[in-house]
Structure 1
Amino acid sequence: MLLSTWAVIVVLIALTALYVAAEFAAVSVRRDKIRQKAEQGDVRAVRLLPVLDDSRLLDRYIAGCQVGITLTSLILGAFAQATLAVELRPLFERWGGLQGAAAQSTSTAVVLVVLTTLQMVLSELVPKSLALQMPTQTALWTVRPMRWSLFLFSGFIKVLNGFALLILRMLGAPQAGHRHIHSPQEIDLLIAESRDGGLLEPDEHRRLRRALQLGVRPARHLMVPRGQMAAVEIESRPAEVLRWVADTPFTRLPVYRGEIDNIIGTLHTKDLVLRYLEDGDRATIESVMRPALIVHESVTADRLLSLMRERGNRQAIVADEFGGVSGLVTLTDVLTEVMGDVADEFQLREPTPERLQDGRVRLPGGLRLDEVESWIGVLWKGEADTVGGRVTEELGHLPAAGERVVIDGVEIEVESVVNRAVASVLAAPRAPAGAGSGEGV
């Protein structure tokens, strides 16, 4: 009798584990993996894919798992109390010296503790871990028994879901189903876990993180500052512009009238060359000028990409809150933010941080503050966006080469200044940096 009792208990524990594994697998499995299996002809994947694609079906699937878990747990407790506890009662009377009700209560308590422990380990923790570690395999293994269970529990599921929806309406809560939706922060954590698990190389992890940040990265963080912009005046002679363009890597240039704050269009050098070949000195900048895309400096990078695609522009003028020109941002600048340096052989490479033999680090003045920490061991914060701006902010005046300042315990020496802006500084890191490349992400 005792052997058959334990056989029933093992079956009930196994059923509970099945429903737990099915539930965790259904909410953690990737739809693209199941879709790939379905395209390869896996019948189980074909049956599971519609459930994952429809939030209502997924709700019903999860409800079936929860009904199964509840029923098997209740049946297990009632069965064990009615059989195992009764069968163990004589042992407590014989060996424990207990009488009647005391022996029965002790037997029931011991059975409850043992079965609860077994159920937590074998029916909860183990299947949950397996489902989270192998969601695709677990979801496929459990789909067939879950189809049978959904058929058996259909009445329970309708009644319970009906009560649940009624309570949600009374509480004014949204009736959102189970869906595989992740916030950018959660996606960032998933990417970091994939890197830590060896599925992503450091460069791949860096590019994915930067791509996620396009939604919060403003145009002013990507732009070429106004002082470094190359632009042409609308009244310039085409021959002079062509000679000047021949010595530069630029193919698109802003066009202004009178002063740089009055941008009125953009010039594609190919258009100017073709017009000059046709009309010679009669050609004008205005005749080949195209409309300029002007955006506020707070526009995010992803929105900027959308505007460029809609307007057919590959560059945009960045304006400040007063309408003045802050700088220029190109499609290459946005791609560089994600991919790293994508400059071609005709473009000058941007300066990058460099470790010196004396232990100090040479930091470009235009380096963003969020990229500094990995080089100096300190996360700088302030109103400024760049290293040069932070140094100027700390000094309180326009810096000169050779000036020194300490920012958050890091000794800084201004190495060079170009057009009144800090071009580079030498920093003594607070603590030795790691052995990696040191490039910020």
Structure 2
Amino acid sequence: MEVDYWSRLLLFVILIGLSAFFSGSETALFSLSELEKRRLQEGGTPGGKRVLELLARPRLLLTTILIGNTLVNVSAATLAALLTSDLVAAHGFSRTWAVIIQVGVVTLVLLVFSEVTPKILALQRSERFAVVAATVLRPIIWLLFPVAGPIEAMSRQLERIFGVKEGEFALSEAELRALIDVGEEEGALEADEREMIHSIFEFGKTHAREIMVPRIDMVCIERSASIRELVELIKSCGHTRIPVYEGTVDNIIGIIHAKDLLPYLGREEQEVDLARIARPPMFVPESKLIDELLREFQKQRSHMAIVVDEYGGTAGLVTLEDVIEEIVGEIQDEYDRELPLYQELDDGSYLMDAKIDLDEVNEVLGVELPTEEDYESLGGFIFHLTGQVPREGDRIQYGDLEFIVEKVQRNRIVTVKVRRKEAEASNS
């Protein structure tokens, strides 16, 4: 009797071990990332090949694991009932309490030793566990195929009925963004790396009009100007490429590179047709996506493009640097003297450049100002609200925000002061 008891106990331990193996195998094999699978493939080891072979038929693999796990769990539960029945009877428990104790013990053992613990261990060492599991599972799959095969076929049929397509799974952009944010929180990515990756997601959605230098801010020169005037213009603005127009800025005829003026230094008074020095301009529509624009810059070996509107007029210009800055952020050299687009004042208000993008305004102020196709900047938003050219000192109310026009130049809003009404009330 005692020998029979110990043999049952040994068999129970073996069954629990098998259950743990099946549970761990399921977790290890099906939690392998695409990167880990590729590493196994490139490694070329026999174990890695076995893992990939099994994962090539995921339904059959999962069906086999579940059948095996069910068989050993049922067997373990039955054996546990036999092992505990004599002990429970010896202590004089009623039938009801005997069942409760048996179920409680079996459930606890199966949860701890057959489910939770092996799955956690397999998740932590999924690649190594998967290689071992694949070696053991191959003969088990062959052994259980008479049962697992028909179940796999039924599973396929049900998937067809419910319209589930194989290989349909793919990470969405939102999920990838969430993974990147988690990577920063876990310390795997720096904050600037996270920002750069997020910028890449936006890169293919951004249009040329969103990053261009607007027409009113373009530095251009008339074709009839002299070399001396051109040299002085380059010295004053610091740009190395100057668009040349004839008659009006809507008629850009070329772009002059500063280095092309070297042969004329010392001969500034010589009359030269700037059109002869200028290089052919590159034109792009406002709607041009900047990822396409980058490829066009590379193809044409150009660093500047003139942006035209739907009527063919000049809307602005965009440079290769503008495009790259959308990924890496602002690039400033030792000659750049750009003022910040906004600065916080002592009273809690903000002084903002009217060119600042509304999305950035929303981020800085923590608000949700509406963006439309008609405008994308703070200045455009104020023009939209007023319906006319505002004067310096004009105050525009919008929700709990007050916009004060600080500076207007040639019918163009230059700077705007933005403050919240409650902040104003608290200061007074």
Q: Which residue of 2 aligns with 1:335?
A: 324
Q: Which residue of 2 aligns with 1:67?
A: 63
Separation in 2, partners of 1:356, 1:33:
54
Q: Which residue of 1 aligns with 2:137?
A: 149
1:9 aligns with 2:15: yes
Separation in 2, partners of 1:431, 1:62:
60
Separation in 1, partners of 2:50, 2:342:
51
**Is the CA contact 1:22–1:131 (under 8 Å) kept in the aligned structure 2?**
yes
Q: Which residue of 1 aligns with 2:245?
A: 256
**Is the CA contact 1:227–1:419 (under 8 Å) kept in the aligned structure 2?**
no
1:415 to 386, 393, 406: 406
2:198 to 195, 205, 209: 209
Distance 1:71 1:169, change over 3 A: closer
Separation in 2, partners of 1:285, 1:278:
14
1:316 aligns with 2:322: no
1:190 aligns with 2:179: yes
Give a deviation string over 1:133-171, Cα, whole Å, max 9, x none.
Answer: x4xx42133313313423542584877766666766777
**Is the CA contact 2:25–2:133 (under 8 Å) kept in the aligned structure 1?**
no
Give a deviation string over 1:263-292, Cα, whole Å, max 9, x none.
Answer: 233222212333678998354322233232
Separation in 2, partners of 1:232, 1:51:
67
Distance 1:121 1:90, change over 3 A: closer
Does the residue aligned with 1:176 lie in a helix, a strand or coil? coil
1:390 aligns with 2:381: yes
Separation in 1, partners of 2:114, 2:387:
65
Distance 1:126 1:90, change over 3 A: closer
Corresponding letter in the other structure for 1:7: V
Structure 1 unaligned blocks of 5 or more: 433-441
Does the residue aligned with 2:302 lie in a helix, a strand or coil? coil
Q: Which residue of 1 aligns with 2:75?
A: 79
Separation in 2, partners of 1:317, 1:124:
64
Q: CA deviation at 1:224?
A: 0.9
Distance 1:304 1:35, change over 3 A: farther
2:29 to 8, 20, 23: 23
**Is the CA contact 1:226–1:328 (under 8 Å) kept in the aligned structure 2?**
yes
**Is the CA contact 1:294–1:318 (under 8 Å) kept in the aligned structure 2?**
yes
Identity among equivalent positions (%) equals 26
Q: CA deviation at 1:360?
A: 1.3
Does the residue aligned with 1:26 lie in a helix, a strand or coil? coil
- Please report the TM-score for the alignment, with normalisation by the length of structure 2: 0.81
1:225 aligns with 2:250: no
Q: CA deviation at 1:300?
A: 2.2
Q: Which residue of 2 aligns with 1:296?
A: 285
Larger radius of gyration: 2
Does the residue aligned with 1:281 lie in a helix, a strand or coil? coil
2:342 to 353, 370, 393: 353
Q: Which residue of 1 aligns with 2:426?
A: none
Separation in 1, partners of 2:408, 2:304:
27
Does the residue aligned with 1:143 lie in a helix, a strand or coil? helix
Q: CA deviation at 1:417?
A: 2.3
Does the residue aligned with 1:260 lie in a helix, a strand or coil? strand
Does the residue aligned with 1:267 lie in a helix, a strand or coil? strand
389-398 vs 163-172, which moves further = 163-172
Separation in 1, partners of 2:415, 2:41:
52
Q: CA deviation at 1:310?
A: 1.5
Distance 1:273 1:118, change over 3 A: farther
Does the residue aligned with 2:17 lie in a helix, a strand or coil? helix
Does the residue aligned with 2:307 lie in a helix, a strand or coil? strand
**Is the CA contact 2:122–2:129 (under 8 Å) kept in the aligned structure 1?**
no
Q: Which residue of 2 aligns with 1:436?
A: none
Q: CA deviation at 1:423?
A: 2.0
Q: CA deviation at 1:330?
A: 0.9
Does the residue aligned with 2:381 lie in a helix, a strand or coil? helix
Give a deviation string over 1:62-86, Cα, whole Å, max 9, x none.
Answer: 4465134312322123313543334
Distance 1:253 1:117, change over 3 A: farther
- Please report the TM-score for the alignment, with normalisation by the length of structure 1: 0.78
Give a deviation string over 1:31-68, Cα, whole Å, max 9, x none.
Answer: 677689x5xxxx86x8538967xxxx574274465134
Give a deviation string over 1:217-250, Cα, whole Å, max 9, x none.
Answer: 2222211111001122333333322232122211
Does the residue aligned with 2:243 lie in a helix, a strand or coil? strand
Does the residue aligned with 1:247 lie in a helix, a strand or coil? helix
Distance 1:331 1:298, change over 3 A: same
Separation in 1, partners of 2:414, 2:334:
23
Q: CA deviation at 1:410?
A: 1.8
**Is the CA contact 2:222–2:246 (under 8 Å) kept in the aligned structure 1?**
yes
Q: CA deviation at 1:88?
A: 4.4
User: How is 1:103-182 mapped onto 2 (pairs within 5 angstroms)?
Assistant: 107=99, 119=110, 123=114, 134=124, 137-150=125-138, 152-153=140-141, 156=145, 174-176=165-167, 182=171
Distance 1:274 1:51, change over 3 A: farther
RMSD: 3.7
Q: CA deviation at 1:24?
A: 3.8
Does the residue aligned with 1:261 lie in a helix, a strand or coil? strand
Q: CA deviation at 1:366?
A: 1.4
371-380 vs 57-66, which moves further = 57-66
1:48 aligns with 2:48: yes
